[in-house]
A and B are shown apart, each in its own frame.
Chain A
Amino acid sequence: MTIAVNPSQTGEPVFYVADEHPHPEGWSTSLGFWIYLMSDCLIFAILFATFGVLGGNYAAGPAPKDLFDLNLVAVNTSMLLLSSITYGFAMLTMQQNKVAQTQVWLAITGLFGLAFIGIELTEFAHMIHEGATPQRSAFLSAFFTLVGTHGLHVSCGLIWLVTLMVQVQKFGLIEANRRRLMCLSMFWHFLDVVWIGVFTFVYLLGVLR
């Protein structure tokens, strides 16, 4: 609504009191979600900085060379990469309004994500079994915090994915569900971007050290 005071002949000031015009529901969601992702990026930046500072303090304990199995990390990385492209396919079929195919691609994405978490937990269990616990050295504390935070994000993404699959099953590909799927797509691809940093700086550079 706009209230405009017409300019009078006496040279009085002119005021415009305008409400913000109405917006369709969810029009600012993608920008807002992007800003959330950027703030999440800062969390990971702090954890990377901590790892960068403490990554060499082994306290006479195990070093990356003794702990990391790069073959396993490569398999893990491919799981996350495959889940990224299958989520992309889910978005493409969503744009074509194919509910069943979208659900199938989302399910495949979820399975790859589950495989990623499974492999990561196996790796953690193996390390802890060998005595490489977070309490062992500053390097291991920083490692478990950084990689664990990423794994926690992926786990939350999986819960979100299942929730959205139920939503799509119940209500179909309505506008709200499309918006939610778009947000999860940004979240999922963002986690893949963070993983690039993890496998490069933690695993590859760690083994190289």
Chain B
Amino acid sequence: MNTDTHAAGADDHHHGDSHAHGTFSTYMLGFVLSVVLTAIPFWLVMSGALPSKQITALVIMAFAVVQIVVHMIYFLHMNTTSENGWSMMALIFTIVMVVIALSGSLWVMSHLNSNMMPMHQMSGMK
């Protein structure tokens, strides 16, 4: 709707209030959700409730992703309409960059590690 007024060059502006606000109930809901989503991974690791380490690792990573989304929605008030969608565009661009940087680094460096000659073998070659 802001785009329309821009295009028309009209005098009335609605810029100031395009940022979303929370209410008491959304803040509390976000808080309760993040307490639960924090407590479960800590409990899983500290008690070793799940049989294998791989499963535990995957589960706590999934909890982290869910909690980040909860924080984004309930604390940072992300939605697709704030700032005419530009904050969501910036967020998507950043996520793409982060995924490339993280997966690329880990992938390349793990291959480098497994293809390197082990240290003890190298010291034998004099």
Whether A92 lies near B15 (C-beta < 8 A) is: no
Whether A196 lies near B64 (C-beta < 8 A) is: yes
Contact of B13 among A27, A192, A199, A201 (CB under 8 A): A27
Min Cβ gap B8→A in Å is 10
A109 to B93: give the CA distance in the assembly, Å.
Answer: 31
Whether B60 lies near A49 (C-beta < 8 A) is: no
**What 4 pairs across the A-B complex have the smallest Cβ distances?**
A27-B15, A49-B105, A200-B64, A88-B27
Min Cβ gap B36→A in Å is 11
- Residues of chain A at the chain B interface (Cβ within 8 Å): 2, 18, 21, 23-24, 26-28, 30-31, 34-35, 38, 41-42, 45-46, 48-50, 52-53, 70, 73-74, 77-78, 81, 84-85, 88-89, 91-92, 95, 182, 186, 189-190, 192-193, 196-197, 199-201, 204-205, 207-209
Closest to B39 in A: A74
Total residue contacts A-B, CB cutoff 8 A:
131
Interface of A is mostly: helix
0/1 string, B94-109, CB within 8 A of A gives 1 = 1001100110011001
